[in-house]
Amino acid sequence: MALEGKVALVTGAARGIGKALTEILLQNGAKVALLDVDKNAGQEAVSAFDEEFGAGRSVFCCCDVSSEVQFRDAFEKSTQLFGGLDIICNNAGIVNESDWEKAVAVNLNGVIRGTFLALELMKKENGGRGGVIVNIASMAGLGPHAVAPVYTASKHGVVGFSRAIAEASTVLGYGVRINVLCPGFVQTTIFASLEKDEALEKLRNQRGKLLESWGILEPSDVAKIFLRIVLDDSSRNGGVLVITSKGAEYINFPTAADVPAATL
C-alpha cells in the first residue's frame, strides 16, 4: 500500500473533511492520529475505524488546536505511540464571525502551531525524517467571502504563512514539503456555523453565485486530491491547489518580477 508504515496526524478529524482525509489515509495503509475538540465524535470515529481497518491503526486525542499545551501534548502522545510523524494535515477550522478572535485562534493560530510542531519533529536538522504538511485553507483564502470577512482573513493568513514557511523549508533544507488546499464549498456542518442575521441574508446572495459556478463538493472529493498531493513528491513545495466540482489546479501567484516599475 502506498502509505504502508507511514504515520499521519489530522486535526479536526472527527467529522467532515478531516474524517474523510483520515479514512483515505487508513485505506492506503497509514496509521493516523485523530485530533479533535469533540471528544464523543472523535471516539466514535476511531471505534468505526477500528471496525473497518483493525484495532491499533488509529488513535484519538482530544485537543483544542488553539491551545499550545493541549496541541503539544496530543502531538507528543500520538507520535510516541506510532513512532514519529510523516504526514500532518492542519484541517480544524470554524466559521464564527461574532467570536472572531476564536475563529482566528483556531483557523490561523492553530494551523501555525500545528506546522511548527510538525517541523520541530520532522525537519532533518533536528534528526527528523522529513515529511509532508498539508494545510487546509479555502477559496476564501484567495478571495473575499463577504458573508465571512474574519474567516476570509484567517484563510488568507493560512495561505500566506504556508507559502512562506515552505520557502524557508526549501532554502534551509528541512526536507519537509508544505502544500495548501483551497476547496470551494463542501457538504459539511460548517455551513450551519453562520448565525442567522438579516444583514447576512443580503450577503448570502453573493454566496449563491459562487455556489452556482463552483458546485458543491463531498468531503471524499477533497480527500482524493489530498492523497494525490501527499503521494506526489514532485509536488511543488508551497504549492496552493484550488478544488471545485470541476477539478483541481495549482494557483499561480504574482512574483516580485510582476510588481510594476514605479509609474505613479
Ligand X SMILES: CC/C=C\C[C@H](O)/C=C/C=C\C=C\C=C\C(=O)[C@@H](O)C/C=C\CCC(=O)O
Residue 191 CB, nearest approach to ligand X (Å): 5
Number of neighbours of residue 60 by Cβ within 10 angstroms: 24
- Chain-centroid distance, C-alpha 257: 30
Residue 72 CB, nearest approach to ligand X (Å): 27
| Closer to ligand NAI by Cβ: residue 28 or 70 | 70
Candidates 48-56, 88-96, 234-242, 252-260; binding stretch for ligand NAI (CB under 6 A)? 88-96
Residue 151 CB, nearest approach to ligand X (Å): 6
Active site residue 151: yes
Measuring CA to CA, which residue among 42, 22, 43, 20 is closest to residue 32? 22
User: What would the x/- binding string for ligand X be over residues 96 to 135, using CB under 6 A?
Assistant: ----------------------------------------
Strand partners, 134: 89, 179
User: What would the x/- binding string for ligand NAI be over residues 165 to 184, using CB under 6 A?
Assistant: ------------------x-
- Report the b/e string of 7-37 with b at 16+ CB within 10 A: bbbbbbbbbbbbbbbbbbbbebebbbbbbbb
Report the alpha-carbon angle 228-232-236, nearest 5. 110
| Closer to ligand NAI by Cβ: residue 138 or 169 | 138
Residue nearest to ligand X (CB): 143
| Closer to ligand NAI by Cβ: residue 38 or 97 | 38
Q: Give burial (CB, 10 Å; 0-12/13-18/19+) of 41.
A: middle
Q: With binding defined as CB under 6 A, does residue 150 bind ligand X?
A: no
C-alpha cell at 140: 476564501
Measuring CA to CA, which residue among 155, 143, 253, 256 is closest to residue 207? 143
Q: For residue 107, what is the DSSP state?
A: I
SS3 at position 34: strand
Strand partners, 183: 243
Work out which of 61, 92, 117, 118 binds ligand NAI, going by CB under 6 A.
92
- CB under 5 to 8 A by kind: which of ligand NAI, ligand X, none does 33 bind? none
Pairing state of beta strands 58-62 and 31-36?
A: parallel
Residue 181 CB, nearest approach to ligand NAI (Å): 8
**Whole-angstrom distance, CA of residue 71 vs CA of residue 91:** 13
Q: What radius of gyration do the chain's Cα atoms show?
A: 18
Residue 76 CB, nearest approach to ligand X (Å): 30
By CB under 6 A, the count of residues binding ligand NAI is: 28
**Per annotation, catalytic residue among 151, 161, 185, 226:** 151
Question: Given the rule CB under 6 A, which residues bind ligand X?
Answer: 95, 138-140, 142-145, 147-148, 183-185, 190-191, 194, 207, 210, 242, 251
Catalytic residue numbers, as ranges = 151
Question: Given the rule CB under 6 A, which residues bind ligand NAI?
Answer: 11-12, 14-18, 36-38, 41, 63-66, 91-94, 106, 136, 138, 183, 185-186, 188-190
